[in-house]
Amino acid sequence: MSTAVLTNRLDLDSVADSSLKAAARFWFVVTVIGQLMFAFAVASFYGLTALRGDFHGWSRFISRGYVSGDTLGNLAVVMHVGSAVGIMLAGALQLIPQIRNRFPAFHRWNGRIYMLTAVSLSIAGLYMTWIRGSVGDIFQHLGSSLNAVLIMLSAAMALRYALARDFKTHRRWALRLFLVASASWFLRLMFFLSLLLFGPVGFDPTTFRGPLLTFLSFASYLLPLAVLELYLRAQDRAGTLGRMATAVGLFVLTLAMVAGVFAVTMAIWVPQVKAAYDPRKSIAETLSATIASSGIDQATKQYHDLKAAEPATYNFDENELNSLGYQLIRSKKFKEAIRVFQLNVEAYPQSSNVYDSLAEGYMDDGNKPPAIANYQKSLELNPKNRGAVEMLRKLNAP
Ligand code: HEM
């Protein structure tokens, strides 16, 4: 082999190595930033609402957030979201090589905290899924439960190889643990990216069931685990082309993750942070308590009275009544949900979304004609509402 050919090969080889390293670094930076944003939104929302004593406000982002009298269930939610924040902070610190190499004692302690939070997060998640009850069907529940099992298994394996001082195998299990513990984050990215690109297809927005969510409840960890195995193989034994191809693939997937982080930030994290730092009282919260104690007529009167007397004290934003209506639908209180959505239509007559929700209330209550009329009105205000087109097709309407 001539010297020129050999030099070219060596050049290509080092380009492949640097590309793979750069792609991994890009992936890591996007993941850490995205997870810190998730942690910040969750800590701000659940933490600050709890400090204000507005525990019922949790139901805006979680189907069974705070339930009066269910001490164990409420503790499970606190343990779950608390561990979720802990695991994302500890995970980021654990994988940064500079910290790992310069502060080995910190790495060991942080690793123990990480494993402990992984186990408490999983146990609380299993309790919320199977005992307390949550959105989703049996297959989605099996998907998240397998996730919990893999989190605990990977934590045990990472610990075992660290204690045996087999750091190569420890590193592999630690990476697997990081990925399976990031499944919930990946799921949000994939779900909201799909929503941004294709609209509300593949799932039912009220029950959160459907083929897309079933697929994501497994793919959210199986896909990242498969990519990790490909990456580790490329690092160990792939040729120049293999490493180049892996680097390009990882780079493209990371770009998709950037789009996913953007989608979930706009859809969930910004509203969560806004709600966390909003000093106004939640009108949904107030009406929810009145519906439970005195019924929907009293709650409707209270809504009008408060809006007239204290418009700045309460939060009358569109999503307040909208989320209250969906909470009522989930509790099968369809008549109450319809009344709440009607109040929102009165307040926001130009919003396509409020008619869409009202239509859904009527549909779930088995009242087809007003469901069709409201889906049509929603479509008139927003011709891009693909969900309404789909529902009108199901209802055999023009
Ligand atoms: C892997 C890391 C996980 C993280 C970071 C995480 C984080 C969260 C967060 C922040 C919430 C509150 C909803 C929100 O504000 O977005 C939540 C809800 C929930 N999580 Fe997890 N979770 C993880 C894993 C799991 C696992 C493994 C299970 C099941 C075994 C599980 C079961 C649940 C359930 C049932 C809910 C309530 C959903 C609802 O009904 O609305 N989670 N999780």
By most ligand atoms within 8 Å of CB, the mutation choice from 184, 217, 270 for ligand 1 is 184
Ligand 1 center–CA 354 separation, angstroms: 28
Query: What pLDDT is recorded for position 397?
Result: 66
Mean pLDDT value across residues 200-219: 90
For the entire predicted model, the pTM comes to: 0.82
The percent of residues above 90 in pLDDT, for the chain, comes to 71
Residue nearest to atom 9 of ligand 1 (CA): 81
| Pair of tokens at residue 315 | 């939060």
Asked whether 128 lines ligand 1 (CB < 6 A), one says yes
Mean pLDDT value across residues 214-237: 94
Structural contact between residues 190 and 219, judged by C-beta atoms closer than 8 angstroms: yes
Ligand 1 center–CA 222 separation, angstroms: 17
Structural contact between residues 238 and 250, judged by C-beta atoms closer than 8 angstroms: no
Structure confidence by residue, pLDDT tens digits, 319-350 = 889 988 988 988 889 999 999 999 999 999 99
Query: What pLDDT is recorded for position 235?
Result: 86
- The DSSP-derived string for 148-196 is HHHHHHHHHHHHHHHHTT-HHHHHHHHHHHHHHHTHHHHHHHHHHHHHH
Rounded CA-CA distance 146/21 in Å is: 31
| Pair of tokens at residue 163 | 């204690």
Ligand 1 center–CA 184 separation, angstroms: 7
Handedness of CA 174, 178, 183, 187 (dihedral sign): negative
Rounded CA-CA distance 319/354 in Å is: 9
Query: What pLDDT is recorded for position 205?
Result: 76
Query: What pLDDT is recorded for position 238?
Result: 73
Asked whether 61 lines ligand 1 (CB < 6 A), one says yes
Mean pLDDT value across residues 239-253: 93
pLDDT band, residue 65 (cuts 50/70/90): confident
Q: What is the DSSP letter of 295?
A: -
Residue nearest to atom 29 of ligand 1 (CA): 125
| Pair of tokens at residue 370 | 């007003």
Query: What pLDDT is recorded for position 340?
Result: 97
Q: Which atom of ligand 1 is nearest to the CA of 122?
A: 27
Q: Are strands 281-282 and 314-315 parallel, antiparallel or unpaired?
A: parallel
Asked whether 188 lines ligand 1 (CB < 6 A), one says no
Asked whether 134 lines ligand 1 (CB < 6 A), one says yes
Ligand 1 center–CA 134 separation, angstroms: 10
The percent of residues above 70 in pLDDT, for the chain, comes to 97
Bridge partners, residue 282, by sequence: 315
Query: What pLDDT is recorded for position 9?
Result: 61
By most ligand atoms within 8 Å of CB, the mutation choice from 85, 116, 128, 188 for ligand 1 is 128
How many C-beta neighbours within 10 Å does residue 281 have? 16
Ligand 1 center–CA 127 separation, angstroms: 11
Residue nearest to atom 24 of ligand 1 (CA): 184
Structural contact between residues 65 and 55, judged by C-beta atoms closer than 8 angstroms: yes
Mean pLDDT value across residues 220-233: 96
Cα three-residue angle 283-284-288, rounded to 5 degrees: 120
Alpha-helix residue ranges (DSSP H) falling in 265-317 = 270-277, 283-294, 296-309
Mean pLDDT value across residues 35-54: 93
Specify burial of residue 138 (Cβ count, 10 A radius: 0-12, 13-18, 19+). Answer: exposed
At residue 8, does pLDDT exceed 80?
Answer: no
Q: At 127, which amino acid appears?
A: Y
C-alpha distances out from residue 185 to 132, 181, 257, 279, 283, Å: 22, 8, 11, 28, 30
Lowest mean pLDDT among 56-70, 262-276, 316-330: 56-70
Structure confidence by residue, pLDDT tens digits, 74-131 = 999 999 999 999 999 999 898 888 898 899 999 999 999 999 999 999 999 999 999 9
How many C-beta neighbours within 10 Å does residue 332 have? 10
| Pair of tokens at residue 323 | 């989320």
Q: Which atom of ligand 1 is nearest to the CA of 87?
A: 5
Bridge partners, residue 315, by sequence: 282
The average confidence (pLDDT) of the chain is 91
Residue nearest to atom 8 of ligand 1 (CA): 81
| Tokens 């209250």 belong to residue | 324
Angle between helices 167-181 and 104-127 (to 10 degrees): 40
Asked whether 64 lines ligand 1 (CB < 6 A), one says yes
Asked whether 81 lines ligand 1 (CB < 6 A), one says yes
Rounded CA-CA distance 356/334 in Å is: 15
Query: What pLDDT is recorded for position 250?
Result: 96
Query: What pLDDT is recorded for position 7?
Result: 62
Query: What pLDDT is recorded for position 92?
Result: 87
Rounded CA-CA distance 3/157 in Å is: 47
At residue 211, does pLDDT exceed 90?
Answer: yes
Closest to 123 measured CA to CA, from 88, 164, 84, 175: 84
pLDDT band, residue 60 (cuts 50/70/90): confident
- Higher pLDDT among residues 9 and 353, named by residue: 353
Given its phi and psi angles, is residue 267 left (phi above 0), alpha (psi -120 to 50 degrees) or beta? alpha
Mean pLDDT value across residues 255-270: 97
Q: What are phi and psi of 199, to 5 degrees?
A: 80, -175
At residue 5, does pLDDT exceed 80?
Answer: no
Asked whether 145 lines ligand 1 (CB < 6 A), one says yes
Ligand 1 center–CA 185 separation, angstroms: 9
Rounded CA-CA distance 19/14 in Å is: 8
